[in-house]
Structure 1
Amino acid sequence: MDRRDIEIFLTLADELHFGRTAQRLLVSQARVSQTIAKLERQLGVLLFVRTSRRVQLTATGAVLADEVRAGWDRIEQAVSAARAAGQSVATTLTVSLEAPALADLAADVFGRFTSHQPSTRIVFREAGFADPLDLLRRREVDVAVTNAPIEEPDIEPGPVIHTEDVVLAVARTHPLAAQHIVTLEDMVGHVVLRAGRRAAPYWDGSGQTPSTWQELLAAVAAGEGISPVAKHAAEYFARPTVTMVPFTPGSPSIRWAICWRRGERTAGIDALVRAVG
């Protein structure tokens, strides 16, 4: 018996009326009659006694109804339990951060996401310093947060989740350390070390890319170069040998944006995009 045959058989066993059974299941009365006749042919026994005045289960029909109903109830309970479990299973959205401090700086965005998606947990990963998109390309994370613009053929850019000013990291003994503010022109003639995938105009290609953030700060402290970095570095990574000098007001800012593999935007990513607001 297929699912519909079982439903028709058990409903008729309850109603003992072909018309009411048809109405209850939203099928024709002929469909009910045809189904019962088919079952009786397949089993080789009568399941119902029909007269002009009433319908009754035969003894065999009553035993079959009890057995089928018990199994059917177990199947229905299992299906309901599976659906409930599927709705409550916690899922995970894995996000790599080029700057780990973004977990704090963009906490309002991630907070809105979790409030709207209570069954989804965000797991943060620290991205590689030299190539912050590597984890994304290797499918180890669902989303990456990196500085915009994001112009990669295999990566789809999303909205900006945090914007902040830029400061210039210089050695405490560097001539620029004595200035209250610096300009882009002040960087001319100095070796500029690149922090991650820092976008123009702050990096002119004159310096190398250190392997880690600590290597960058060590190189700056040693006077090997200067480096434009996000303003939060002055608070999160302060050290006595390095000075963070602000750029002039109106200088280009750093825009941290989410991105994902092109063509692979999931429901979780959609929810995160909506949380940006």
Structure 2
Amino acid sequence: MLERLELEAFLTLAEELHFGRTAERLHVTTSRISQTIKRLERRVGADLFVRNSRSVTLTEVGKQLREDLLPAYEQIGLGIAQAIAFGRGVTIKGVLRVGWSAPWCGNLMVRAAEVFRLRHPESEVEFEIGEVQLCDPLGGMREGRVDVQLTEFPIAEPDITTGRLVFSEPRSLMVPADHPFAFRESVSMEDLADAVLVTLADERIPRYWMDRYFPRRTPSGRPIPQGPATNFWPEVLVHVASGTGVSTVAARAEHFHARPGLTFVPFRDAPPIEYGLMWPTAGRNPLLPPFLEVVEELASAPGP
């Protein structure tokens, strides 16, 4: 029989593929996560993860164990949420339209929608088709297609209200596999002056947001060569893989977008990417407060 920490440590590490982030989510030390996984591997009799200085990946045994355990674990969580909904006896009606900017944001919002539907069965949560596009991060809210969105901070617009920071992610530099940076253990923000940075077609993107994630100068003031301006994330992947340039990304992007031709090198000095909730200031959806409560509850809870 698995102990609770063994179960949560394994499933969280299988999702994060990073011991430090797993420890943060479970509110324990990194060494305790490492010890717990080693103990579980001894019980199983096989390695569950392959570890090296730059990455953590699941073994075939680990993938199978995750596939077997995760549905049961999620069912337990949904059962508890359903009991809470019945206990509160709260009934609200309506439709809430939700958007997000990255797969890891989408994972959280989908889980929040599942819990929200159980607590408020007469309400519905709809998802904006696809991810919010890089070239127009605020358009969905301004056009009335999105009631709440989980995306990158900072956003300081008079018609958009921002909530609390939900989580943050360390940054990496995505480079072609044969790029000189690909063979380093880490890179610095100053190194961007020696690379071509793939950028965005930024007519609808606030300049302060662009300067945070697609800067024109290094911290010391050196100019950063600007590469092709893209509209969609798949274009960024194609440009980098073909050797046209490099791009700053969340470190977690490697888990979702790794492919031949791409290498992800961690930054040692870049500020983290911060993600928060935001919504149109005018005409706030009445379902928004209870949904925000669910998102913040799940974001602060241990486990996947």
Out of 137, 141, 147, the residue aligned to residue 136 of structure 1 is 141
Q: Is the 8 A contact 2:134 2:233 kept in 1?
A: yes
Q: Indicate the residue corresponding to 1:124 in structure 2.
A: 127
TM normalised by structure 1 equals 0.61
- Secondary structure of the 1:102 match is helix
2:284 corresponds to which letter in structure 1? R
Q: Indicate the residue corresponding to 2:246 in structure 1.
A: 226
Out of 283, 297, 302, the residue aligned to residue 264 of structure 1 is 283
Which deviates further from its counterpart, 100-109 or 163-172?
100-109
- Secondary structure of the 2:276 match is strand
Q: Is the 8 A contact 1:91 1:119 kept in 2?
A: yes
Residues 1-23 of structure 1, C-alpha deviations (whole Å, 9 max, x = no match) = xxxxxxxxxxxxxxxxxxxxxxx
> After superposition, where does 1:27-176 map in structure 2 within 5 Å?
91-105=94-108, 109-110=112-113, 112-125=115-128, 126-176=131-181
Are residue 204 (structure 1) and residue 215 (structure 2) matched?
Answer: yes
Q: Indicate the residue corresponding to 1:244 in structure 2.
A: 264
1:267 to partner: Cα distance: 2.1
Q: Is the 8 A contact 2:172 2:267 kept in 1?
A: yes
Q: Is the 8 A contact 1:137 1:261 kept in 2?
A: yes
1:204 corresponds to which letter in structure 2? P
For residues 129 and 170 of structure 1, the distance between their equivalents in structure 2, rounded to whole angstroms, comes to 19
Q: Indicate the residue corresponding to 2:272 in structure 1.
A: 253
- Secondary structure of the 1:209 match is strand
RMSD of aligned residue pairs (Cα, Å): 2.5
Distance 1:135 1:228, change over 3 A: same
- Secondary structure of the 1:194 match is strand
Q: Is the 8 A contact 1:155 1:259 kept in 2?
A: yes
2:241 corresponds to which letter in structure 1? A
Distance 1:88 1:157, change over 3 A: closer
1:242 to partner: Cα distance: 0.7
Residues 28-79 of structure 1, C-alpha deviations (whole Å, 9 max, x = no match) = xxxxxxxxxxxxxxxxxxxxxxxxxxxxxxxxxxxxxxxxxxxxxxxxxxxx
Q: Is the 8 A contact 1:148 1:199 kept in 2?
A: no
- Secondary structure of the 1:188 match is helix
Distance 1:107 1:218, change over 3 A: same
Residues 67-95 of structure 1, C-alpha deviations (whole Å, 9 max, x = no match) = xxxxxxxxxxxxxxxxxxxx978532111
Number of positions where the alignment pairs a residue of Structure 1 with one of Structure 2: 190
TM normalised by structure 2 equals 0.56
For residues 210 and 241 of structure 1, the distance between their equivalents in structure 2, rounded to whole angstroms, comes to 19
1:150 to partner: Cα distance: 0.7
1:106 to partner: Cα distance: 5.3
Which deviates further from its counterpart, 210-219 or 258-267?
258-267
Q: Which has the higher contact order (CA 8 A, sep 6+)?
A: 2
For residues 147 and 127 of structure 2, the distance between their equivalents in structure 1, rounded to whole angstroms, comes to 10
**Alignment identity in percent?**
31
Q: Indicate the residue corresponding to 2:26 in structure 1.
A: none
1:94 corresponds to which letter in structure 2? R
Q: Is the 8 A contact 2:93 2:120 kept in 1?
A: no
Out of 214, 217, 221, the residue aligned to residue 234 of structure 2 is 214
Q: Is the 8 A contact 1:98 1:146 kept in 2?
A: yes
Q: Is the 8 A contact 1:109 1:161 kept in 2?
A: no
For residues 157 and 172 of structure 1, the distance between their equivalents in structure 2, rounded to whole angstroms, comes to 38
Q: Indicate the residue corresponding to 2:53 in structure 1.
A: none
Q: Indicate the residue corresponding to 2:45 in structure 1.
A: none
Q: Is the 8 A contact 1:193 1:227 kept in 2?
A: yes
Rg bigger for which structure?
1
